[in-house]
Amino acid sequence: MKHQFLSLLVLTFALAGCKQAEVSNNELLGPVSQVRHVAWSKNTNIYEVNVRQYTPEGTFNAFKAHLPRLKEMGVDILWLMPVNPIGVKNRKGSLGSYYAVKSYVEVNPEFGNLEDFKNLVKEAHKLGMHIIIDWVANHTAWDHPWVIEHPNWYDKDSTGQIYSPFGWSDVVKLDYENQDLRKAMIESLSFWINEADIDGFRCDVAGEVPTDFWDEARTSLDRIKPVFMLAESEKPELLINAFDMDYAWKLLSIDNKIAKGKANAIDLENYFAHLDSTFPVGAYKMNFITNHDENSWNGTAQTNYGEGLKTFAVFTATIPGMPLIYSGQEADYNHALLFFEKDPIVWGNYRMAGFYKTLLALKHRNPALWNGLDGGSFRRLHSSNDTAVFAFIRENGKKKVFVMMNFTGKPQQITLSCKGFYGKYTDVFSGSEMKLPKKLDRELKPWEYLVFEK
């Protein structure tokens, strides 16, 4: 992005009372993203698809039947977990890990064939959605052909043997000092754009692969088609030239602690203040309450958030960044999906679909919530109860979104008298019109959230 656009979005915080801190371009100390985001990403959300568990069939064709429902809910970007064949050697469980890739240019026969996948992409595009696929560049399965054909493409331990990183026994680590490997990996990435017309990649453990490789890969891929790139990382340098977006893991950790009473709203303010000085200006942060790893290994969203689940979902959908929804969230599915076995989601009546539709529609229509430099400013509004209640306003020109939420399981009284929030609004969830006074006194119910749009 060009530097002159920086003034469009500066994350600002009230330092005392309700006084807003003013920050000029010359005072920006953090890095600046040079990535040119694809135009369609400016007000989008992202939805993670676990193809194996999505339907009883676990195929691309079976998942395709869900596209109209997801479109109706407001989903924009479909992130498919790895679609590649899974290694057999040292496989975990009976079906193996999606992230033990046996071939970078083939489709997992468990899901269908290449034509099935291409038809899925075409159908998603017809509906105005975009598809990115999970890419595992740090390691391959032990029985990937490269292990035999190009053993020098793999990293070696102190004894000169290839090895499994992080104790992941079903995979073996690649060595990016080898230029031929880099060339082959970029060719493999390019294959999916050229053959299937996908729109980008979510890159697994991206921080373990050299940043200069990702920079090179992004340049090459954009020559074929402008792409969207998501890094599984919180390494700011990856967002300078290579990736559009990374993970909000630190925020996830704070949210989990708040839900358990081990942190509070002040910790959220500190998080945003840190982000303001370290996160590349113009880049996107992916906000989430769960994903495939969290769900399978660290507990369901219902277990981790309890009665506060909707509160945290609203929070992640209205703060700066792009909200993620994982397979099953719209059904309020309270089950930790097995990772190495078949364990299909039981969908029921999609009881949370309307809730998410409301949030996603708000992000679509109100520029205050758009992503990166297209979005609005973010300002916490200090109140009489800052430890328990987090109130903030996002503003882009005349468009505003004002949010208040009680981050505790007890009723909380709040007095808010900041400038800038009062006026006529629509309650996003009830649809009622109201006028907020200059001094707002209110009791918030346990985990209550209020979202007002102007």
Angle at 14 between CA 11 and CA 15, to 5 degrees: 115
Is the domain spanning 31-376 CATH 3.20.20.80? The answer is yes
Q: How much of the chain exceeds pLDDT 90, in percent?
A: 92
| Distance from C-alpha of 382 to C-alpha of 403, rounded to nearest angstrom | 12
| Distance from C-alpha of 287 to C-alpha of 255, rounded to nearest angstrom | 11
> pLDDT value at position 74?
98
| Position 14 pLDDT exceeds 80 | no
- Residue range 247-261, pLDDT digits in tens: 999 999 999 999 999
Judge residue 268's burial from the number of C-beta atoms within 10 Å of its C-beta, 0-12 exposed, 13-18 middle, 19 or more buried.
Answer: buried
Tell me the pLDDT band of 421, cut-offs 50, 70 and 90: confident
Using DSSP's 3-state secondary structure scheme, residue 362 falls into helix
Delimit the domains of the chain by residue range: 31-376
- CB-based contacts of 98, cutoff 8 Å, min separation 6: 52, 81, 82, 86, 134
| Distance from C-alpha of 400 to C-alpha of 417, rounded to nearest angstrom | 17
- Residue range 378-414, pLDDT digits in tens: 999 999 999 999 999 999 999 999 999 999 999 999 9
- Residue range 281-326, pLDDT digits in tens: 999 999 999 999 999 999 999 999 999 999 999 999 999 999 999 9
Tell me the pLDDT band of 22, cut-offs 50, 70 and 90: very low
> pLDDT value at position 224?
98
Q: What is the pTM of this model?
A: 0.94
Tell me the pLDDT band of 420, cut-offs 50, 70 and 90: confident
- Residue range 215-233, pLDDT digits in tens: 999 999 999 999 999 999 9
